[in-house]
Amino acid sequence: MLVDDRDTAIQAVEDESSLLIRVPKNIRRKQIDTAIDRIFAKEIEFEKGRQVRNPNRSNARYHLTKPIKIENLKASFDVYEIQRLALMNDEKVDNKKLAKAIGLKVERRVKDEAYDAAYEARIVSVAISRKKKLAIDAIANVVEGKFG
């Protein structure tokens, strides 16, 4: 803002949120820019670097690529609940028992592979572990206020 009269200049000086600068008209533009940069560096603090919005403060809700399957969440919470009750009763429950309790059926993707008990146990264990993680992550997200 260009100050033309005395009253405006007095108001600018008294205002804590503004800075009044006097620039002589007979100096070159480069000298003016250098002097103003020096004044700004001394009087005002600027954040260095590119301005980036904090993503943690975002309220954006992103489109999910796959819809949430209610049956999958129910099975995950059933696994979590059975395991929690077993821990409260000081019982040990393995993944095979958890799979049997919720009625989890694991199918082979490739029919040509040799099918033995260890392979089946590994597939069941992975499926139950994923369901446990899904339940734990869902609970953690609800605590943080994220749904979905």
137 is in which domain, residue-wise?
Answer: 70-144
- Does one domain contain both 78 and 134? yes
- Does one domain contain both 11 and 44? yes
Please, which residues have CB within 8 angstroms of residue 76's CB and are 6 or more apart in sequence?
131, 132, 134, 135, 138
- Does one domain contain both 128 and 96? yes
Q: How many domains does the chain have?
A: 2
For the cut 80, the answer to whether the pLDDT of residue 106 exceeds it is no
Report pLDDT for 60: 65
pLDDT digits (tens, 9 = 90+) for 65-88: 677 788 888 999 999 999 999 989
Q: How confident is the model at residue 133 (pLDDT cuts 50, 70, 90)?
A: very high
- Does one domain contain both 83 and 46? no
pLDDT digits (tens, 9 = 90+) for 18-51: 878 887 888 888 888 888 888 888 877 766 677 6
Share of the chain above pLDDT 90, in %: 16
What's the predicted TM-score (pTM) here?
0.50
Q: Is residue 64 part of a domain?
A: no
Contact present, 74 and 92 (Cβ < 8 Å): no
Backbone phi and psi for residue 108, each to the nearest 5 degrees, phi listed first: -80, 140
Give the Cα separation of 132 and 81 in Å (integer): 10
